Amino acid sequence: MADGREIIYFDETDDAVRELSDKRDLPPAHTNSQIRYDPLLDEWVAIASHRQSRTFLPPTSQCPLCPSTPDRLTEIPSSSYDVVVFENRFPSFTSSAADEPVPGDDGTLVTRRPGAGRCEVVCFTSDHNSSFAELTPARARTVVDVWADRTAALSALPFVEQVFCFENRGEEIGVTLAHPHGQIYAYPFVTPRTRRMLDSARRHRERTGENLFARVLADERAGERVVASNDNWTAFVPAFARWPFEVHLYPHRQVAGIPELSGAERDDFAAIYLDVLQRFDALFDAKMPYIAAWHQAPARVDRDLAYLHLQLFSIRREAGKLKYLAGSESGMGVFINDIPPERSAALLREATTR
């Protein structure tokens, strides 16, 4: 790209012609990301002040994720695309930080490090008015292949410890660009949520000899909270759901990450995921705001304990009503769910899809 960032086209045909020259006049990309250690919670916090100036809810005519036209140049130089990935212009982590000197010890417990990593944007379609739920199964499968490709490539970077593929949808969630897209974060540490889950899995294996995630899946497949299933995947509302509408999608075979999924497993994921997303939208006859978060193994540790799965959840609890994180959730991390998971699963099963 004009400022030195990388862009990658993932085309579904061999004869696609893409404009590869970014004709914009952009200054070199500059970031000042840093991570700081919180000794109270044993967690890293990213400080990225340059993100304050990122694009915020532009009109459709000014969308930076639409294809370029002769009259308006965007983040994607080509006049069309299938799926495209590029480095975020306002990243929380950046590969250039890997070459920065480590700050000296200032005598406090708050260790500081450069924010080494990488943040990428994944555009699912060139159609600004579409959504993931409206993709064809073939396009959804292409996106799965993109996640697999980028997970493998980013995991190979020496300063990356975990790769997180995700999508935020809806202004209610905090999305600042309406164009259908997701993101990929390559972290320089294993995230707190993953560490906690793997610690639980380790203790469960030591106690029982079985994989914790596999046991959760087996219990749910035999219960009343299954929303949909096929040969290779099951989608269910977990008994311990924190959010009003929360669905976990598990492959029936334990794999550590997206790259390990077989062709059939990728096909079946695309089918069941589209089904669940369409149920979300049908529930209140409106596009459901949601976060879709892939949980996969760290790049270098505990891969035998991990079990790839996707967690999908919405903050909408009823038509026109949102669940806000109040004092208990935000202050203490104790969630209070107003909808029993069994009821949530029944509503999603009853939702009419196209």
pLDDT of residue 354 exceeding 70, the answer is no
Q: What is the mean pLDDT of residues 228-232?
A: 98
Output the pLDDT for position 166. 98
Q: What is the pLDDT of residues 129-158, one digit of tens each?
A: 999 999 999 999 999 999 999 999 999 999
Quick one: what percent of the chain has pLDDT higher than 90?
A: 89
Q: What is the pLDDT of residues 19-46, one digit of tens each?
A: 989 999 998 877 778 999 999 999 999 9
Q: What is the pLDDT of residues 83-93, one digit of tens each?
A: 999 999 999 99
Residue 128: pLDDT band with limits 50, 70, 90: very high
Output the pLDDT for position 31. 79
C-alpha dihedral (21, 23, 27, 33), degrees to nearest 10: -50
Host H or E run for residue 241: none
- What burial letters (b/e) apply to 268-294, b meaning 16+ CB within 10 Å? bbbbbbbbbbbbbbbbbeeebbbbbbb
Strands 181-187 and 118-123: antiparallel
Rounded Cα–Cα distance for residues 234 and 220 (Å): 9
Rounded Cα–Cα distance for residues 140 and 156 (Å): 25
Output the pLDDT for position 53. 66
Residue 103: pLDDT band with limits 50, 70, 90: confident
**Number of Cβ atoms within 10 Å of the Cβ of 60:** 10
Output the pLDDT for position 14. 93
Quick one: what percent of the chain has pLDDT higher than 70?
A: 98
Whole-prediction pTM value? 0.96
pLDDT of residue 57 exceeding 60, the answer is yes
Output the pLDDT for position 240. 98
Output the pLDDT for position 15. 93
Q: Which tokens go with 326? A: 């109040």
Rounded Cα–Cα distance for residues 142 and 126 (Å): 14
Q: Which residues are catalytic?
A: 181
Domains of the chain: 1-30+55-89+117-354 (3.30.428.10)
Residue 119: pLDDT band with limits 50, 70, 90: very high
Paired with 122 in beta bridges are 85, 182
Residue 97: pLDDT band with limits 50, 70, 90: confident
Residue 52: pLDDT band with limits 50, 70, 90: low
Paired with 282 in beta bridges are none
Paired with 87 in beta bridges are 120
pLDDT of residue 126 exceeding 90, the answer is yes
Q: What is the pLDDT of residues 185-199, one digit of tens each?
A: 999 999 999 999 999
Output the pLDDT for position 30. 73
3-class DSSP assignment, residue 86: strand
Output the pLDDT for position 48. 87
DSSP string, 271-319: HHHHHHHHHHHHHTTSPPPEEEEEE---SSS-TTT---EEEEEESEEET
Strands 34-38 and 290-295: unpaired
